[in-house]
Every structure is written in C-alpha cells, then in structure tokens.
C-alpha cells in the first residue's frame, strides 16, 4: 500500500435515512474487516459536523 503523508485519515460519513446497521458502522463494528482500520473513521453526519466545527481530526 502506498501512503501519502499529506493525509491523516479518511472519513466515511453516514447521513440520511435508511441505514439499517448505522449503529454497527459508527461503533467500529467494521474495524476487524477493514485493512488499515486505524486510518478510517466512520461517523454519523452529526458527529462529523461537530468534529469539523471543533477543528478536530
């Protein structure tokens, strides 16, 4: 895997209606199945907006 040091991590933002397993996704349920899971942060739209407003990664 090629890493680009300009990027800290990726965000996968789940928003809107119809997410059947949303709590599973946002509570790190996929981590055992993701390569480089420490580099992926799955969050709800509301949480992402909160983090962005606070200037957090």
**14 and 44 in contact (C-beta within 8 Å)?**
yes
The residue whose two tokens read 């996968």 is: 12
Check residue 36 and give left, alpha or beta (phi > 0: left; psi -120 to 50: alpha).
left
More confident residue, 16 or 56: 16
**13 and 50 in contact (C-beta within 8 Å)?**
no
Q: Given a cut of 70, is residue 56 above it in pLDDT? A: no
**pLDDT for the residue numbered 17:** 86
**pLDDT band for position 50 (cuts 50, 70, 90):** very high
Q: pLDDT per residue over 23-48, tens digit each? A: 999 999 988 988 888 888 999 999 99
User: How many angstroms separate the CA atoms of 37 and 31, rounded?
Assistant: 5
More confident residue, 19 or 56: 19
Q: Given a cut of 80, is residue 8 above it in pLDDT? A: no
Output the CA torsion sign for 6, 10, 50, 17: positive
């Amino acid at each position: 895997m090629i890493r680009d040091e300009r990027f800290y991590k990726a965000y996968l933002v789940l928003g809107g209606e119809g997410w059947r397993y949303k709590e599973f996704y946002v509570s790190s349920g996929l981590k055992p199945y993701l390569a480089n899971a420490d580099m992926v942060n799955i969050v709800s739209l509301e949480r992402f907006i909160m983090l962005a407003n606070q200037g957090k990664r």
